[in-house]
Amino acid sequence: MTKEQIIAGLKNAAKPYEEYYIEDDLIDAINQYPEPFELVDPILEIIATNPRVDFGMPGDLVHFVEQFYKHGYEELLIASVRNHPTPHNIWICLLYTSDAADDLIGV
């Protein structure tokens, strides 16, 4: 799948007031995409622009983007919260700040 097809599939899966569900073939495409960091910003945008979707706690999309923690993900997350604060992306940001605080105190 191309990047555009993956992003379109992720967007189409976002249904207000429903639990977010991704088909297995789309999950496989995300995991096999040759430049996975390119998907982080569009995924954060999907989360930010769909505040009425239940993305899970934390959910498949967050699990995917978390692999880029300390590799540029944080800046994209903060920008996402600044542009479109939603309960889910703020919660993700709080997880990040909690982990950063643990790093500072050596936990």
Is the pLDDT score of 103 beyond 60?
no
pLDDT of residue 97: 67
Highest mean pLDDT among 26-35, 55-64, 94-103: 26-35
| Poorest-pLDDT segment among 36-40, 62-66, 92-96, 100-104 | 100-104
Number of neighbouring beta carbons within 10 Å of residue 44? 24
- pLDDT band for position 107 (cuts 50, 70, 90): very low
Which residue in this structure is represented by tokens 């479109």? 84
What is the spatial distance between Cα 42 and Cα 55, in angstroms, rounded to a whole number?
15
Q: What pTM does this model have?
A: 0.83
- Put residue 56 in one of left, alpha, beta given phi > 0 → left and psi -120 to 50 → alpha: left
| Burial of 79 per CB tally in 10 Å (0-12, 13-18, 19+) | middle
Is the pLDDT score of 15 beyond 70?
yes
pLDDT of residue 98: 61
pLDDT of residue 105: 44
The string of pLDDT tens digits covering residues 32-83 is 999 999 999 999 999 999 999 998 888 889 889 888 988 888 888 888 889 9
